[in-house]
């Protein structure tokens, strides 16, 4: 049967109670006698989770448990797993290559690169303040703009490779001539008339309509391109059309030449 569990020295009524409680938690009551072939892919994942939690382990390891599911089922199972973890209080280690899963399900994230830890922190810390270029690029999409510090008295001015100069907020003074990389998340970029700070002019290379928002791939000069994920306020900007984007000086992270966050 799908729930082929064996207990030693445990009364059958107690086994039935534990199994029934585990099945209730994954919203599959009465499935004790079903064969795996009688279950859908999503139900099989729920049963696998119930089989793990029925023993009340101290630590639960989930190694990419949602990789075989379709998008809707993945989202549903994310909610279910997080809910069950909160109910049971079991410490869960969730291994995933899906950045959205990592951000939406975790209390703490460990980003690893070639077997080494790059950063540990809350989802907000790791996403908003990436410690390295790898973290910035791996955990969600990020615009990485290379530039040179051109002014450092008061506000930091950085001249980009494409020639534009923008202002940024730095946690410490930077020497003029220093090579830096500006990390700006696509969601931090405003588009059109709202782009009042650090305005960058470019041309739309591609437009992806997402319903309430659109993703724009923008050429801002030669080999430099950026991505903006912005709410749709009026007309969508189409491929080949000019566009202006901007971001707040405090809405970015600075990396040094070695790819480490400047702090």
Domain CATH number, residue 81? 3.40.50.300
- Specify if 112 maps to a domain: no
d(CA 60, CA 51): 11
Strand order in the sheet with 143-151: 165-168, 156-160, 143-151, 179-184, 253-255
- Specify if 205 maps to a domain: yes
- What band does 182 get if pLDDT is binned at 50, 70 and 90? very high
169: pLDDT strictly greater than 70: yes
167: which strand partners? 157
The strand pair at 59-63 and 91-95 is best described as: parallel
The number of distinct structural domains making up the chain is: 2
- Specify if 262 maps to a domain: no
Do residues 147 and 123 make contact, with C-beta atoms less than 8 angstroms apart?
Answer: no
Q: What count of other Cβ atoms lies within 10 Å of the Cβ of residue 162?
A: 18
pLDDT tens digits along 47-80: 888 888 888 888 989 888 887 778 887 888 888 8
Domain boundary at 107, 124, 159, which? 107
- What band does 223 get if pLDDT is binned at 50, 70 and 90? low
CA 8 to chain centroid, in Å, comes to 43
7: pLDDT strictly greater than 60: no
Q: Return the closest-CA partner of residue 239 out of 195, 211, 209.
A: 209
260: pLDDT strictly greater than 80: yes
146: which strand partners? 181
Q: Which domain holds residue 47?
A: 12-107
Question: How high is the pLDDT of residue 8?
Answer: 54
Mean pLDDT, to the nearest integer, of 146-168?
87
Triad 64, 65, 70: Cα angle to 5°: 100
- What band does 154 get if pLDDT is binned at 50, 70 and 90? low
The SS3 of residue 229 is strand
Same domain (yes/no): 246, 151: yes
- Specify if 114 maps to a domain: no
The CATH number of the domain holding residue 193 is 2.40.50.140
3: pLDDT strictly greater than 80: no
The strand pair at 156-160 and 143-151 is best described as: antiparallel
Same domain (yes/no): 82, 155: no
In order, the DSSP letters of 60-125 are: EEEESTTTTS-HHHHHHHHHHHHHHHHHH--EEEEE-S-HHHHHHH-SSEEEEETTEEEEEE-HHH
The dihedral through the CA atoms of 124, 129, 132, 134 has a sign that is positive
1: pLDDT strictly greater than 50: no
- The pTM (predicted TM-score) of the whole model is 0.78
Q: Rounded to the nearest 10 degrees, what angle do helices 12-25 and 41-53 cross at?
A: 130
Question: How high is the pLDDT of residue 42?
Answer: 77
- Specify if 117 maps to a domain: no
Do residues 14 and 34 make contact, with C-beta atoms less than 8 angstroms apart?
Answer: no
Mean pLDDT, to the nearest integer, of 195-206?
86
Question: How high is the pLDDT of residue 12?
Answer: 66
Same domain (yes/no): 159, 241: yes
Same domain (yes/no): 82, 178: no
Mean pLDDT, to the nearest integer, of 210-220?
91
Question: How high is the pLDDT of residue 211?
Answer: 87
The SS3 of residue 43 is helix
- Specify if 243 maps to a domain: yes
The dihedral through the CA atoms of 88, 90, 95, 97 has a sign that is positive
Written as six digits, the tokens of 96 are 């995933």
229: pLDDT strictly greater than 80: yes
Question: How high is the pLDDT of residue 227?
Answer: 94
- Specify if 7 maps to a domain: no
2: pLDDT strictly greater than 50: no
- Specify if 102 maps to a domain: yes
Same domain (yes/no): 60, 151: no
131: pLDDT strictly greater than 80: yes
């Amino acid at each position: 049967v799908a729930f082929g569990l064996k207990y030693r020295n445990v009364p059958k009524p107690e086994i039935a109670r534990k199994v029934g409680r585990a099945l209730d938690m994954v919203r599959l009551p009465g499935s004790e006698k079903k064969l795996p072939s009688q279950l859908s892919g999503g139900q099989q994942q729920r049963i696998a989770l119930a089989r793990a939690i029925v023993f009340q382990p101290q630590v639960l390891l989930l190694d990419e448990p949602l990789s075989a599911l379709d998008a809707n089922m993945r989202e549903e199972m994310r909610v279910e797993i997080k809910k069950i973890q909160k109910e049971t209080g079991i410490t869960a280690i969730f291994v995933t290559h899906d950045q959205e899963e990592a951000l939406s399900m975790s209390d703490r994230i460990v980003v690893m690169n070639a077997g080494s830890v790059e950063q540990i922190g809350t989802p907000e810390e790791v996403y908003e303040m990436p410690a390295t270029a790898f973290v910035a690029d791996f955990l969600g999409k990020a615009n990485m703009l290379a530039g040179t510090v051109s002014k450092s008295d008061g506000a930091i001015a950085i001249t980009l490779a494409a020639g534009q100069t923008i202002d940024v907020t730095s946690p410490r003074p930077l020497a003029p001539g220093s090579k830096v990389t500006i990390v700006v998340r696509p969601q931090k970029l405003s588009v059109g008339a709202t782009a009042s700070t650090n305005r960058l002019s470019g041309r739309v290379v591609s437009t992806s309509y997402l319903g309430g928002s659109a993703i724009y791939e923008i050429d801002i000069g030669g080999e430099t391109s950026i991505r903006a994920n912005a709410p749709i306020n009026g007309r969508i900007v189409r491929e080949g059309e000019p566009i202006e984007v901007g971001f707040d000086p405090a809405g970015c992270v600075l990396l040094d030449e070695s790819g480490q966050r400047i702090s």
